[in-house]
């Protein structure tokens, strides 16, 4: 039986990193270790962060997300996707990289959208976090300040990805026919990560 993905809660800085992610993805060579890509991105100053430590931490998070893309998805991100599809793809990488974000997308955002509760209060993060922390000791160990930072960054990522509005209201996702078809072919269940996208007649 496959073990569930651990909760990696390292997304405490920045947000979706759209421009930086596209720049790093462009540096990647098929078959190359993403660690090599990260080092090259550091050498070429792919981000505008001034401090080396901040730069390294950000690039590590970006590469951890980008490594979840297939070659086809990465090519689409760089060569065909408009900004809306780029946002959607990077939201997808975030959900793939971080179990908590994926569960929030499915258990909170999707459920609220399906029941026409389009407002997304900050407390929805806290409720899910407390529920997960009851069963996960690493989550339970996180300080209150870290939890607040994680909540702040997650809401920022969702705004930048177009999942919620600036007023924290869930909005129907927009995927191009090409991107939707690509996801349907590879893993149709992932369409549920995008509020309002019809899947299997639901």
Which value, to the nearest 10 degrees, does the dihedral of the CA atoms of residues 102, 108, 113, 117 take? -160
Q: Say what the pLDDT of residue 51 is.
A: 64
Q: What is the pTM of this model?
A: 0.93
What is the predicted pLDDT for the residue at 200? 56
Residue 62 CB-density burial (10 A; 0-12 exposed, 13-18 middle, 19+ buried)? buried
Length of the chain: 202
For tokens 């339970």, what's the residue?
Answer: 140
**What does the pLDDT look like over 175-197, one tens digit per residue?**
999 999 999 998 999 999 999 99
Element containing residue 140 per DSSP (H, E): helix 137-140
Instruction: Give the whole-angstrom CA distance, residue 179 versus residue 181.
Output: 5
Domains assigned to the chain: 15-67 (no CATH), 83-202 (1.10.3540.10)
Task: Write out pLDDT tens, residues 162-171.
Answer: 999 999 999 9
The closest alpha carbon to 69, from 26, 100, 107, belongs to 26
> Are the C-beta atoms of residues 202 and 155 closer than 8 Å to each other?
no
């Amino acid at each position: 039986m496959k073990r569930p993905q651990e909760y990696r809660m390292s997304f405490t800085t920045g947000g979706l990193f759209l421009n930086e992610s596209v720049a790093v993805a462009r540096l990647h060579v098929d078959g190359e270790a993403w660690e090599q890509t990260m080092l090259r991105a550091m050498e070429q100053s792919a981000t505008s962060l001034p401090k080396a430590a901040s730069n390294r931490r950000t690039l590590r998070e970006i590469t951890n997300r980008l490594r979840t893309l297939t070659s086809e998805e990465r090519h689409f991100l760089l060569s065909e996707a408009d900004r809306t599809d780029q946002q959607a793809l990077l939201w997808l990488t975030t959900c793939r990289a971080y179990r908590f974000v994926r569960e929030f997308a499915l258990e909170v955002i999707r459920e609220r959208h399906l029941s026409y509760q389009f407002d997304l209060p900050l407390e929805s993060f806290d409720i899910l976090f407390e529920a997960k922390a009851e069963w996960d000791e690493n989550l339970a160990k996180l300080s209150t300040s870290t939890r607040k930072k994680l909540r702040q960054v997650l809401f920022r990522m969702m705004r930048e990805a177009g999942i919620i509005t600036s007023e924290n209201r869930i909005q129907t996702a927009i995927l191009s026919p090409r991107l939707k078809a690509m996801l349907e072919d590879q893993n149709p269940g992932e369409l549920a990560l995008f509020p309002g996208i019809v899947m299997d007649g639901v």
